Amino acid sequence: MAEIRDSYKRRYKMRAVGQDGLNIVVSIPRVVIEREAEKHGLTIPEFLEQFKAVAQYDNFEGVRYTFEKIKKEEETVLSS
E strand or H helix at 54: strand 51-56
pLDDT 10s digits, 4-57: 788 888 888 999 998 888 888 989 999 999 999 999 999 999 999 999 999 998
Prediction pTM value: 0.72
pLDDT of residue 39: 97
Q: How far is CA 77 from CA 6, 43, 49, 70, 71, in A?
A: 38, 23, 13, 10, 10
Q: List Cβ neighbours of 2 (8 Å cut-off, separation of 6 or more).
A: none
Residues 26 and 14 sit within 8 Å (Cβ to Cβ): yes
